[in-house]
Amino acid sequence: MGVAWRRAGRPFGRVGSVPTGRSYVQEPTLVFDLTGRAFLSGIAGCDDEQRSAGVLLTATVRSRRFGPERTVAPAPATHLRFVLTGDGRALAAWIGAGCSTTEDLSGPVRAATLVDDAVGEPINVSALPSRELRLSGGPAGGGELSFTRFDSASPDGEAVVARVAPDGTITPPGRPADGWAAVTGDRAGDQLVVPARAAGFGPPTALGARPAAASTVEPSPLQGPSFFVTAGAPDGRALAAARPVGRALGIAVWRPSTSGPR
């Protein structure tokens, strides 16, 4: 696995090596905190379904070298999600099934908190077979998990959410009271949300912004149904979404309308 770095205004340098050890890292996710520290996460050992585990590697902006990988999601794990939730804090969530390059396996949902490089014990969020896991940062360093779970009462799947409190406690998953599920968050916990629907039932029918300090959803001017491309500001309060509108790409940006901190 390789990595290339660049400084502002300068081209990328030579491709260096990432010490991923025993195997490649599948579904890699790269995020930076405000100090410039890089967090690279993903699934290692995908060539051995029962040994696949979620790993994290970090690099400071000065060293530009990733340290050794650490396990954040014990095997079996796949579809690792990782978000920074504040200074020195992060959330990880994953599907507790083997990673496969040929199948999208369902499994229980687990999560863990990270505080100053210390990885917490895995928390069982849902024991039911689940898939389509999403994790978004939430207000005050919390977060929201959404996924589709399957059981005998809902063989076609049920869309549920679980809220993660800043202290790491997680609410039991259930249908969201307001009907919305978060897909993207910004640094303050403002979220882009879509109607909570089970996987495989088509694109989202709508998109909205849910401010961190409010429970109301502000509908996007971009109409559904559509697949939306979304983004959240890692350094402040702003959300963005895009989708084709007529004969052009439509891009909309949300910012808090109040005079709160930006």
| Window of 86-94, 138-146, 153-161, 199-207 that interacts with other proteins by CB under 8 A | 199-207
27 is a contact residue toward other proteins (CB under 8 A):
yes
| Window of 27-35, 86-94, 118-126, 146-154 that interacts with other proteins by CB under 8 A | 27-35
| Window of 26-34, 113-121, 146-154, 168-176 that interacts with other proteins by CB under 8 A | 26-34
Written as six digits, the tokens of 48 are 């051995």
Stretch 131-170: interaction string toward other proteins, x if CB under 8 A = -x--------------------------------------
CA distance 121 to 174: 23
Q: By C-beta, is 18 or 72 nearer to other proteins?
A: 18
Ranges within 221-260 binding other proteins (CB under 8 A):
221-222, 227-242, 244-257
212 is a contact residue toward other proteins (CB under 8 A):
no
CA distance 207 to 195: 7
Q: 49: alpha, beta or left, given left = phi > 0 and alpha = psi -120 to 50?
A: alpha
Would you say the C-alpha torsion 215, 221, 222, 224 has a positive or negative sign? positive
Written as six digits, the tokens of 133 are 């896991």
How many of the other CB atoms lie within 10 Å of CB of 35?
9
Burial degree of 45 (CB within 10 A; 0-12, 13-18, 19+): buried
CA distance 147 to 152: 17
49 is a contact residue toward other proteins (CB under 8 A):
no
| Binding positions for other proteins, rule: CB under 8 A | 1-4, 6, 8-9, 11-12, 15, 18, 24-31, 40, 47, 101, 132, 183-184, 186-187, 194, 203-204, 207, 209, 211, 218-222, 227-242, 244-257, 262
